[in-house]
C-alpha cells in the first residue's frame, strides 16, 4: 500500500477474526472454504482492505496455511480459544506495536462474505456522532458485536478484563462503555450473513449468483 493511498484512509487497522474452531462447519478454517471459486477470506479482504490502512489476520495454529494472502498473522493474545475478545485484544496489541498510526481497530468475522463497502466509515461516523467509546453493527434487529470498532487506548483495560476477571462475552465488556450501534439494511442481502454451517455456504453461493 503506497503512502499516498494510506494517508486518505482512516487511522484504522482492519482485523480479520479467524481464531475460532469452526465446530458447526465440521472443523478447519471456515474462511478457506471456497465460495464463488475463491476462498471466503478472499472476499473479506477485497471488501475490507480498501477501507483501512492495514490488515491483520487473527488465526491460531500454523500461519503458513494463509501464506497466499500475504497478510500478517497473529495468534490470540490469550490462550485457550478464549473467543472473539481474545482476537480483539490481539488486534489492539498488534496495532500498538506495529501500526502506531492507527487509533482504532475494526474487527470483522471471516465467515461473512457480504460485508458492507462502507463498514468502517459508518462505524467511525456512528462513534463520533454519539461521542461513544466504541461501536458495533446491527442488522435485521440483531446486534453483531464481533463486527466492531475498538480504540487501541483500551487494550490494557481489555487485557485486565480477560486475564484477571475472566470475561469472555463481548457484550459484558462493551457494557462498561458507551457503545454506538450502527444499523445496516438487509436488502438485498444481510451484509452480516455468515457461513457458520454447510447449508449457509450453499445459501451464500446462491446469493453470490
Could you tell me the CATH number of the domain that includes residue 27?
Answer: 3.90.550.10
pLDDT band of residue 88 (cuts 50, 70, 90) is very high
Q: Return d(Cα 198, Cα 43) in angstroms, integer.
A: 18
When divided into structural domains, the chain yields a total of 1
Pairing of strands 34-35, 134-139: unpaired
In this prediction the pTM is 0.92
Tens of pLDDT, residue by residue over 29-47, are 999 999 999 999 999 999 9
* Sign of the torsion angle spanned by Cα atoms 94, 12, 36, 21: positive
Q: Return d(Cα 114, Cα 199) in angstroms, integer.
A: 16
How many CA atoms lie less than 13 Å away from 199 in the CB half-sphere?
0
For residue 159, what are the CA distances in angstroms to 99, 115, 153, 177? 19, 28, 12, 15
pLDDT at 3: 46
DSSP-derived secondary structure for 164-195: TS----HHHHHTTS-EEEEEE--SSS-TT---
pLDDT at 63: 95
Q: The domain containing residue 63 runs over which residues? A: 3-208
Amino acid at each position: 500500500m503506497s503512502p499516498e493511498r494510506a494517508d486518505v484512509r482512516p487511522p484504522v487497522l482492519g482485523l480479520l477474526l479467524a481464531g475460532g474452531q469452526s465446530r458447526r462447519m465440521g472443523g478447519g478454517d471456515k474462511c478457506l472454504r471456497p465460495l464463488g471459486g475463491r476462498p471466503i477470506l478472499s472476499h473479506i479482504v477485497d471488501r475490507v482492505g480498501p477501507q483501512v490502512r492495514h490488515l491483520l489476520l487473527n488465526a491460531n495454529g500454523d500461519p503458513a496455511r494463509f501464506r497466499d494472502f500475504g497478510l500478517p498473522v497473529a495468534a490470540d493474545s490469550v490462550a485457550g480459544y478464549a473467543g472473539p475478545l481474545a482476537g480483539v485484544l490481539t488486534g489492539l496489541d498488534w496495532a500498538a506495536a506495529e501500526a502506531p498510526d492507527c487509533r482504532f481497530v475494526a474487527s470483522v468475522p471471516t465467515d461473512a462474505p457480504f460485508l458492507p463497502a462502507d463498514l468502517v466509515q459508518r462505524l467511525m461516523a456512528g462513534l463520533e456522532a454519539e461521542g461513544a467509546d466504541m461501536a458495533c453493527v446491527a442488522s435485521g434487529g440483531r446486534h453483531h458485536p464481533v463486527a466492531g470498532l475498538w480504540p487501541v487506548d483500551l487494550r490494557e483495560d481489555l487485557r485486565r478484563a480477560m486475564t484477571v476477571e475472566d470475561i469472555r462475552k463481548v457484550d459484558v465488556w462493551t457494557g462498561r462503555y458507551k457503545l454506538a450501534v450502527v444499523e445496516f439494511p438487509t436488502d438485498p442481502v444481510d451484509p452480516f450473513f455468515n457461513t457458520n454451517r454447510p447449508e449457509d455456504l450453499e445459501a451464500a453461493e446462491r446469493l453470490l449468483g
